[in-house]
């Protein structure tokens, strides 16, 4: 039976269609979820896509965190539902306190859009088990508020617990502390990533196919999950 993966659309979402396409290319059925509807309709995983939810007013992700669908997703994530937050989705996960830290204005104060090498640090998550530890991947990055920050104790804990999922290679595009590009929660079911894996799933439009592994990983995870 084909896995069903929800993709949320908020007002101002930009990459929800691309995320749904990536889910389909990975072999799952994308299910479009609406910010104002708390129902998840039986999906087995959720993607929070990139964009500018609610116009990035107040702070990026600060309003989206209170959307009716997010109330359901937060509860489900705490119960083990795999959730991937990409760019703005990562910001929403931090605002919802499913992930620690925050994403702030790029240190150089410029929007950065380029193909970016990453090193996969952690493969024990629902969204990275298709990779090898230390694998280098090429995925686009595009953000203006992508600088990951946290207090030193939180950063040390993320390092010690193996919760840094990916780091920037070949130059840090936004000033993120310790070159952090992606992190996970303690259980490994929630991952936030600032670069855009959904833009690296087809040779025609992406710099590589490396992003597809994030989406095939969750299918592998779901197959192995207890019924």
Strand partners, 205: none
Instruction: For residue 196, indicate whether it is catalytic.
Output: yes
Catalytic residue among 94, 95, 196, 221: 196
Pairing mode, if any, of strands 147-149 and 83-86?
unpaired
Element (H, E) at 83: strand 83-86
Cα atoms in the Cβ-side hemisphere of radius 13 Å centred on 207: 14
DSSP per-residue codes, 111-156: -EEEEEEEEE----STTTTTS-TT-EEEEEEEESS-EEE--HHHHH
DSSP-based three-state secondary structure for 73: helix
The closest alpha carbon to 87, from 121, 112, 66, 117, belongs to: 112
Residue 155 to residue 100: CA distance in whole angstroms:
9
* Residue 87 annotated among the catalytic residues of the structure: yes
| Non-local CB neighbours of 95 within 8 Å, separated by 6+ positions | 59, 61, 62, 64, 65
Q: Does residue 108 have an active-site annotation? A: no
Tokens, residue 119: 């090193």
> Which is catalytic among the residues 35, 198, 199, 221?
198
The active-site residue, picked from 87, 121, 145, 221, is 87
- What the block records as the tokens of 183 is 């992190």
Query: Which residues are marked as active site?
Result: 87, 196, 198
């Amino acid at each position: 039976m084909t896995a069903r993966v929800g993709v949320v659309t908020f007002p101002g979402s930009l990459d929800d269609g691309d995320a749904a396409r990536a889910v389909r290319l990975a072999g799952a059925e994308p299910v479009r979820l609406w910010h104002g509807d708390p129902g998840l309709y039986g999906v087995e995983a959720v993607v929070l896509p990139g964009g500018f939810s609610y116009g990035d007013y107040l702070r990026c992700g600060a309003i989206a965190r209170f959307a009716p669908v997010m109330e359901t997703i937060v509860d489900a994530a705490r119960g083990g539902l795999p959730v991937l937050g990409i760019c703005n989705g990562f910001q929403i996960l931090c605002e919802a306190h499913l992930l620690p830290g925050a994403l702030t204005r790029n240190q150089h104060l410029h929007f950065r859009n380029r193909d970016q090498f990453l090193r996969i640090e952690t493969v024990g998550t629902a969204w990275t088990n298709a990779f090898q530890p230390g694998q280098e991947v090429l995925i686009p990055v595009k953000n203006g508020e992508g600088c990951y920050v946290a207090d030193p104790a939180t950063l040390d804990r993320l390092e010690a617990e193996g919760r840094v999922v990916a780091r920037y290679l070949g130059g840090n595009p936004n000033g993120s502390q310790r070159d952090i590009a992606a992190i996970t929660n303690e259980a490994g079911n929630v991952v936030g990533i600032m670069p855009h894996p959904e833009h690296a799933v087809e040779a025609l439009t992406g710099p590589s196919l490396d992003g597809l592994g994030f989406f095939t990983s969750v299918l592998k995870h779901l197959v192995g999950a207890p019924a």
